A and B are shown apart, each in its own frame.
Chain A
Amino acid sequence: MSDKWQMLTLIGKDAPGIVAAVTSALADSGVSLGETSMLRLGGNFTVMMMVSGGADEARLRELLGPVIEARGMCLHVDPIDAHLHEHLVPNVQVTVSGADRVGIVAQVTAALAEGGFNILDLDSDVAGSADEPVYILLITGIATEPVEAIERRLEPLRADGVSVNVTPIETYIG
């Protein structure tokens, strides 16, 4: 398998069958997938996929053209320097929730960054209702300082009425 990877980003209105249509078009032409992540964000289909197999951007656009046009989707392709089998294992999870307002993610991640925290995974969502939206943020990553130190960094958010949980992740290997 070629080690040349492209990062393919595809967004559009969500509907059943998009992943099947896209990946079939790729597979039929020998394009191989690496790590991928599909999420539904605000009713939109979004996917990022590492693809390899010798196809450049022009070729990928040609292969996916019919699917993209039929569904009115946006495609973005970037050559990337990427490698498989380099997973990092998180050791801390941070969960945050509170009344939605501007700046929760910025405040949390700035405090984490000050402590050298390496975010591996971040998901955030707006729950609650239109009248009372609640922001929920879930972060996993690698901390180099103790959980108590991270708690102290996030203390100002608590004073602000935001709920913060910092939990060590002890990965079981067996």
Chain B
Amino acid sequence: MAILEILKVPDPRLKQVSEPVSEFDDVLQAFIDDLEEARQDGPAAVGIAAPQVGMFKRIVIIDCSGTRKPVPNHGHLILVNPEITHWEGYEPGREGCLSVPDYTGNVIRATHIKLSALDRHGEPLEFEMEGYEARAAQHEIDHLDGMLFIDRVVSRRTDLFQRKVYQKGGKRKKG
């Protein structure tokens, strides 16, 4: 079938909060396959969330195994009803979005998270994620709550460098 169309800002549907998945039927399996196809079609897309294709269900796909320099990751993940149960640390990093063409910006995200979710058949999953993969999960789960990275973007000038210096100083004091 035709590749699902990606909703783009300022489409108000991107602000909609998505509903949990309760039926793990053939319709869901077919949709997940279509969502994966849309992710692979997106230029340089690492992740995608169901509401980006107009399906307001709590489903995301991420795959952080293809970065230029390898980062800690759990490979290709289909996460249904994902929930972040623990956050730690924060750092700015650059993000873009299939739903926000031609714009990238710095966003502060937790550096370490614990996440629980269901797989595509409804079986429970638990992950500890860090860095880039933790960022991916936070970016995609934001979509499920109607949040875009442009709602969280920070000034390149004030945040990027100074916070890092501050963090290092903090660590030294503790040690």
Contact = CB atoms under 8 A, between A and B. Distances in A.
Contacts, number: 72
A9 interface: no
B140 A174 contact: yes
Interface of B is mostly: mixed
B95 A173 contact: yes
Interface residue tally of chain A, by bracket? 20 to 34
B22 to A, nearest CB: 25
A95 B159 CA distance: 13
Interface residues of B, number: 34
A129 interface: no
Given A121-B156, A123-B157, A170 B68 contact: yes
A174 to B, nearest CB: 3
B54 to A, nearest CB: 16
B115 interface: no
A136 B94 CA distance: 21
Interface string B15-27: 0000000000000
B91 to A, nearest CB: 11
A168 interface: yes
A89 B104 contact: yes
B139 A174 contact: yes
Interface of A is mostly: strand
B94 A90 contact: yes
B68 A172 contact: no
B56 interface: no
Contacts of A80: none
Given A85-B102, A89-B96, A89-B104, A172 B132 contact: yes
A2 interface: no
Given A89-B96, A90-B94, A171 B157 contact: no
Contacts of B135: 172
A173 B156 contact: no
B68 A171 contact: no
B104 A87 contact: yes
Contact of A173 (B69, B71, B97, B157): B97
Interface string B96-112: 11100111100000000
Given A89-B104, A123-B156, A172 B94 contact: yes
Given A172-B95, A172-B135, 10 more contacts: A89-B104, A121-B156, A136-B161, A168-B69, A170-B68, A170-B94, A172-B94, A173-B44, A173-B47, A174-B140
Interface of A: 39, 85-87, 89-91, 93, 95, 97, 121, 123, 136, 138, 140, 168-174
24 contacts: A87-B102, A89-B94, A89-B96, A91-B68, A95-B164, A123-B156, A138-B156, A138-B157, A138-B160, A169-B93, A170-B68, A170-B93, A171-B94, A171-B104, A172-B47, A172-B95, A173-B45, A173-B46, A173-B96, A174-B45, A174-B46, A174-B47, A174-B62, A174-B136
